[in-house]
């Protein structure tokens, strides 16, 4: 039996886990989720979701990986032979996410390049939908591969490939140790500059002002729970895989707290960076922030480029900083998504890491070319909607229900508490067994109903 690979240091593990959590979701998804869902009210619900779902599930997954020492399918199979399919279903979702996630990183890299000349400033929407995407009229009209995306796409796949090919400690950990601190410094610089610009206060008000009338709106709850699952990379096989490489003596609960709180702190920082600069743009144009804060993919690739262009002589520098930060945040998450799938295949087929990585990357990279066509954005939207609203909420729901109710949760709790300083007590059991299933079930069903309508 070959010894399972291990992280070199505790810090290395935390940085890799934070690298997975901190991603495109924090920089472009979080700010517009807040803006669309009642501002300050969203934070309140998000905090509730963090305490009752995010942190408890992170502890659960770290515990599962640490105790059973396998990727998700193997770990679930060791818990109960009938659970293996749950691991595979999470791995399949990972594969789908990887295929589009890498293309968004390629957009960011291409925007990094175009920041030198501010090529996107004149007509940001035309630039994004025309030059970068070559958008066709619908999902069935592919319109050919956008050749200018091939180099950034190849770069993203290459970095991902070498990290995983080199292995847990020498590749994934070493890269995270360099990229994550760099990323934090970059975002702090943008946030500091942003919040000292004229008009930034209006942007931050727009982000933080609570709209109390939406406290009981199920959309706000769905958005907050969906954001917590996606943001923290939980219920995706990933955190189970990463914690399966932990040494025997590892404090599970404090690692989970550190990972979750660092990630959410980063989201807040990114939100401040984005909204203060949007506030400044609204100020220079003499309009309300409401009128400039476009949602969705458009926030990072249409609205934000326009905002960057209002920064004067430092605009190219800040453009490069922002889009490089976006790409770096994405890369460490991409690696974790692919590692979850590759580890599962290695466990199952008893094959060497290098062989699996070569074959897996060839297949996934070929599939990602589909998203680099003129129909890519339509396909991305469909996959994203499906994985986010159903995959995540229902996937998460099934996981907590199975593990919470059809498995001896007590044995896992004892395992976690035997190695941790902070104990997972009754609040943890109550969150896993009752609160998360209730809220995730309710929001999932409500979304399904509103989708059918």
Kindly list the residues in this chain that would bind ligand PHE in the complex (CB under 6 A): 20-21, 23-26, 97, 230-231, 233, 236, 238, 333, 336-337
| SS3 assignment, position 146 | coil
CB 327, CB 27: distance < 8 Å: no
The overall longest dimension of the chain from CA atoms, in Å, is 68
Least CB distance to ligand PHE at residue 287 (A): 30
The first and second tokens of residue 233, run together, are 């990379």
Least CB distance to ligand PHE at residue 24 (A): 4
Nearer to ligand PHE, 112 or 236 (CB): 236
Task: State how far the Cα of 70 lies from the Cα of 242, in Å rounded to an integer.
Answer: 9
Nearer to ligand PHE, 25 or 404 (CB): 25
Classify the phi-psi angles of 254: left when phi > 0, otherwise alpha if psi is within -120 to 50, otherwise beta.
alpha
CA distances to 71, 110, 316 from 280, in Å? 46, 25, 16
CB 112, CB 324: distance < 8 Å: yes
Least CB distance to ligand PHE at residue 228 (A): 10
Nearer to ligand PHE, 310 or 357 (CB): 357
CA distances to 217, 226, 444 from 450, in Å? 13, 16, 10
Nearer to ligand PHE, 95 or 165 (CB): 95
CB 215, CB 41: distance < 8 Å: yes
**By C-alpha distance, which of 106, 210, 92 is closest to 152?**
106
The first and second tokens of residue 33, run together, are 């989720």
Nearer to ligand PHE, 327 or 337 (CB): 337
Nearer to ligand PHE, 90 or 413 (CB): 90
Least CB distance to ligand PHE at residue 252 (A): 20
The first and second tokens of residue 107, run together, are 């957009």
Least CB distance to ligand PHE at residue 85 (A): 19
Q: Which residues pair with 210 in a beta bridge?
A: 39
Least CB distance to ligand PHE at residue 264 (A): 11
| DSSP H or E stretch at residue 245 | none
Least CB distance to ligand PHE at residue 263 (A): 8
Nearer to ligand PHE, 179 or 306 (CB): 179
């Amino acid at each position: 039996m070959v010894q399972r690979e291990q992280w070199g240091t505790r810090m290395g593990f935390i940085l890799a886990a934070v690298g997975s959590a901190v991603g495109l979701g924090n920089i472009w998804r979080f700010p517009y989720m807040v803006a669309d869902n009642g501002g300050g009210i969203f934070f309140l619900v998000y905090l509730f979701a963090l305490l009752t779902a995010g942190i408890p599930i992170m502890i659960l997954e770290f515990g599962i990986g640490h105790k059973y020492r396998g990727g998700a399918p193997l770990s679930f199979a060791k818990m109960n032979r009938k659970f293996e399919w749950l691991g595979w279903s999470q791995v399949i979702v990972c594969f789908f996410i990887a295929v589009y996630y890498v293309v968004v990183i390629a957009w960011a890299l291409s925007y990094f390049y175009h920041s030198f000349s501010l090529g996107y400033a004149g007509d940001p929407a035309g630039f994004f939908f025309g030059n970068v995407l070559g958008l066709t009229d619908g999902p069935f009209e592919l319109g050919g591969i956008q050749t200018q995306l091939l180099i950034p796409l190849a770069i993203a796949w290459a970095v991902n490939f070498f990290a995983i090919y080199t292995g847990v400690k020498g590749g994934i950990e070493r890269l995270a140790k360099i990229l994550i601190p760099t990323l934090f410094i970059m975002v702090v610089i943008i946030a500091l500059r942003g919040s000292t610009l004229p008009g930034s206060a209006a942007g931050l008000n727009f982000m933080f002002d609570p709209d109390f009338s939406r406290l009981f709106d199920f959309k706000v709850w769905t958005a907050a729970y969906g954001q917590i699952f996606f943001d923290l990379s939980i219920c995706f096989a990933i955190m189970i895989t990463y914690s399966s490489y932990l040494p025997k003596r590892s404090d599970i609960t404090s690692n989970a707290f550190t990972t979750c709180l660092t990630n959410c702190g980063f989201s807040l920082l990114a939100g401040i960076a984005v909204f203060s600069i949007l506030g400044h743009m609204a100020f220079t144009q003499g309009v309300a922030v409401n009128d400039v804060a476009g949602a969705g993919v458009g926030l990072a690739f249409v609205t934000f480029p326009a905002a960057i262009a209002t920064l004067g002589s430092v605009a190219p520098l800040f453009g490069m900083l922002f889009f490089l930060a976006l790409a770096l945040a994405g890369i460490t998450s991409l690696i974790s998504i692919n590692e979850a799938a590759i580890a599962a295949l290695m466990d199952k087929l008893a094959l060497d890491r290098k062989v699996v990585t070569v074959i897996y990357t060839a297949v996934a990279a070929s599939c990602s070319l589909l998203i680099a066509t003129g129909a890519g954005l339509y396909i991305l939207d469909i996959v994203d909607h499906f994985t986010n609203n159903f995959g995540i909420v229902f996937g998460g729901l099934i996981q907590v229900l199975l593990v919470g109710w059809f498995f001896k949760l007590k044995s896992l709790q004892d395992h976690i508490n035997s190695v941790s300083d902070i104990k997972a007590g009754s609040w943890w059991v109550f969150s896993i067994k009752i609160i998360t299933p209730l809220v995730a079930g309710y929001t999932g069903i409500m979304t399904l109903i509103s989708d059918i309508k």
